[in-house]
Structure 1
Amino acid sequence: SVCLFGGDRPCSGRVEVHSGKEWIPVSDGNFTLPTAQVICAELGCGKAVSVLKHMPFRESDGQVWAEEFRCEGEEPELWVCPRVPCPGGMCHHSGAVQVACSAVYSELRLMTNGSSQCEGQVEMNISGRWRALCASHWTLANANVVCRQLGCGVAISTPRGPHLVGRDDQISAVRFHCLGTESFLWSCPVTALGSSDCSHGNMASVTCSGNQTQVLPQCSDSLPEPTGSAASGESAPYCSDSRWLRLVDGGGHCAGRVEILDQDSWGTICDDSWDLDDARVVCRQLGCGEALNATRSAHFGAGSGPIWLDDLNCTGKESHVWRCPSRGWGRHDCRHKQDAGVICSEFLALRMVSEDQQCAGWLEVFYNGTWGSVCRNPMEYITVSLICRQLGCGDSGSLNPSVALREGSRPQWVDGIQCRKTDTSLWQCPSDPWNYTSCSPKEEAYISCE
């Protein structure tokens, strides 16, 4: 087995492997990024972010593993990778190797009355501290990943349980956006920008089927649900028919062509009678907020594969889009040029606005259907550099505080952005909650990338 020792946070540290008797460090000679990718994936730690060489060993004797690993990056675990013995059993090195992975999370538990079981409040160990997760955008797909990861079967419901957390500093405002097929919660897309105010006890909870094989309610394909069953959508039974939902080709996980996975095929929905009530179910099911737009005529491009649903007639209250009344599963009279799509309120996009420059201008974020500005306080170099990278404008940049005030009015969407080294996009950076007027117009950020 492999382990990361002595890092400043979970999922980072010196690479060591177990000889059967003791942990032995791996040398930095010929250690490559693909090998780091395999280690991060095997540990459920996301993707490799950095490989640091010349690191001090734990013990003074400097014993190192007597083989080099030559992974290609796709192997399921380190021991499957090709290995080359070092000449004379001595590997050439200038120190230990340290790997940092993208996940800052290491453990998960469900807590009820102080004991950890297969139902309860979702808590995650973030950089060594247990924190409850906010129920903002908490979906059955997220819950299903949690249940599977904990060996607790599948998710049956996401009840709004009583919260067990006392202080606000024990709450995490990160939001996960799972399809439901992921092996680890932290493999799902994450957003933290515009964090929700969770101080009122709105905590994520899950009820799993347990490790015993429990018979789960089946999905009905074409019949509408009896009135009153699962009206809230929050405590609806989880479908055991292995269907999944996603949005594609929209530039983010909260906008795009609607696709459903069934029997190993991703298929689409026809736009006959497609409207905001139908889109509302999709957005809620994906934890993407409210529906802003129900797009028709393959607005996000034509899909391929089967067309799973047609003549959809949702009330807007259903828990899953395939539980809405329709022609029946797989029955349609459409072609892919009629593929349905949605734009949800949590869809995010980023741009710079200026009259003549490509990589300098007023920073704007698209949120809740509107472009608005971003506040510059307390934006540091690390945040500005990340924004430049995300926009394809190089690796560094600076704030320009001396630009004249902008004309016109717009929302000032977000303030207090503080990105960390491990964040790979602006959406993962912590900030204050979304607010229509987060700062005054004179505090809007103007960025020049180098």
Structure 2
Amino acid sequence: MQPLPPACFLILLWLCQAPLSCQQSLGSLKLRLVGPGSQPEEGRLEVLHEHQWGTVCDDDFSLQEANVACRQLGFESALTWAHSAKYGQGEGHIWMDNVHCVGTESSLAECRFNGWGISDCSHSEDVGVVCHPQRLPGYRSERPSQILGPQGQRLEEVRIKPVLASAKRRSPILEGAVEVKYEGHWRQVCDQGWTMNNSRVVCGMLGFPSEMPVNTPFYRKLWNMKMKDPKSRLRSLTKKNSFWIHRVNCLGTEPHMAKCQVQVSPPKGKLQPACPTGIHAVVSCVAGPRFRHPKGKPRQKEVSPSKETQVRLRAGAQVGEGRVEVLMNGQWGTVCDHKWNLISASVLCRQLGYGSAREVLFGAQLGQGLGPIHLREVRCSGYERLLSDCPAHDAAQSGCQHENDAAVRCNIPNMDFQQQIRLAGGRSPEEGVVEVLVEMNGTLQWGAVCSDLWGLNEAMVACRQLGMGFASHAIQDTWYWQGTAGAGKVVMSGVRCSGTEMALQQCQRHGPVHCSHGVGRFSAGVTCTDSAPDLVMNAQLVQETAYLEDRPLSLLYCAHEENCLSKSADHMEWPYGHRRLLRFSSQIHNLGRADFRPKTGRHSWIWHQCHRHYHSIEVFTHYDLLTLNGSKVAEGHKASFCLEDTNCPTGLQRRYACANFGEQGVTVGCWDTYRHDIDCQWVDITDVRPGDYIFQVVVNPKFEVAESDFSNNMMRCRCKYDGHRVWLHGCHTGDAYGANTEIVEQQQQRLMNNLI
């Protein structure tokens, strides 16, 4: 590289003195919105320069500059801007004044202004912006920013460290001294001006919904005793900057300490002490129902679940995350992501027994819901006990679609479960033989899990415990993987999980270990994935297309071969007579985040000569007719002889077509339709008496293929059959209504039957 001639240096020097400063053009400018405005889409505009946050003056500021700032912050555009410190006066420097943007800039750093810190403004002229809540396509979520001190120091992590030795053996840790991690070292926080609001924020970050007072005199006494010990006192005095944060001022509604006013220790050379009170801040947190100590007594203020929860999370891989759903008028529905933010999400998380919100997700990133969209523009202050206490708008006629469904990831306590499981022998970190740490004969030992009874539910729990998302395969024969040398025996057998547990150690299992195969080839294994499909039946189409057909036996030979008729058909005089069939169309949507594919490849598909097609999944759906008491009176099933993208939304390409032995599957967002006139698309009700029934359809009934949400695989309708005609009504997915609503409906139906 040739050196620049002197003339070029003069040009560069002149450019650096021009209004467009060299400093801002050399790096990306960091922005944030702060103040009493609703986060994250409005507030006082602040910029980070020389590791210090400062404000922007409203002189010459217009919508053009606001658009550039909002786009840089991840929003589509600006709605308006605010002058005269509408969102409160900032502190410190006024970094930018007389900002002029063309409007096409990708960053405020590309606009012209007077120069860093050159301003004739006061903080009464701090500018604010209001951005359009719709995020840019590339912007995926909102997370709390890291804590930045006046010199730009970054807080890496927060924890509470037990003061008493007995508390260190219990998970989760509920009480102890607050510590922050800075530059790889844990440092204590001074308790100067420490409030319960501060404790609430810290507890929320650690996964706890609430806090309780601590015994301050007791901890002061422990501290004084420690200071009397010469060695402890010397260590405390010689440890530089042990109190990095010496004052915290939170409102109690913040999802993270980054949103509080935080003052770090004085810089070097200052005479004032870092912590005048001399003692660390101590907090005591209250665990949610799922995280209580098994043998511990309930603590004061412990959160108790209501009889019927009004909010829930669906389709999340981990505990405390999922698509947000609320129960209104007896029916579950979703929340539109317009103005969805960390404060509102934190109210929801605490209501469910978790901590504050760690991340909010937009654009149905954890899958689309079904049914109504109940709420939009939820605006919580953060003090509410329930999400239903927050102001919100009805989502009807708002333009919200299920592609705007909001989701959240809540903070949950560290239960130390992830350190009690590992995978070994796989080709990648996401697969391998499952090895667990259990206590045997008074000692902790690593070992394998017997694959007897090992299925997808158990594999889902294992992947969740590993923090690796969903299970794509539950493997019972792992001869091609080698475990670690320390796992030469089986330490867990007979594992049966419901699928909601946080760890395999929480599942039912044998007392004494008993494995029919022994260790080695038949150890349990898994393959994990970060995304999964989600199949959901179109209930309305089933209701609209149902009818009866008396079909001659002469047209049912192939269907009979595939066991699509009731057993009584075996004893008829073929081909004379007919069967009465309840026929309907089914449309199965994939609303998940991964394509739905058959469990096995083409080499394992089964050829059916009569219908002349391959079955990629032998039993893809169950069709049942039940009494109001749940007894089965007729049944049917459908094999996935042609699992394909029948239709896709506009702009989405079909990927799977089963013609000519093609690939089978259902693409994300697409659906597979089985028309009412296809063989086996029915329930044989020839032997059913007239009456009132429940018609039930279950997709993927044997859980052969992993899904992000199995709770919506069942669809139910009320069915009335008078011997000549059939009516289906009230069709809905199995979890679309609250439990109380379905009980009331059944009681009303029984009452009507008695009156008739």
**What TM-score comes out, normalization by structure 1 length?**
0.34
Structure richer in helix, relative to its length: 2
TM-score (norm 2): 0.22
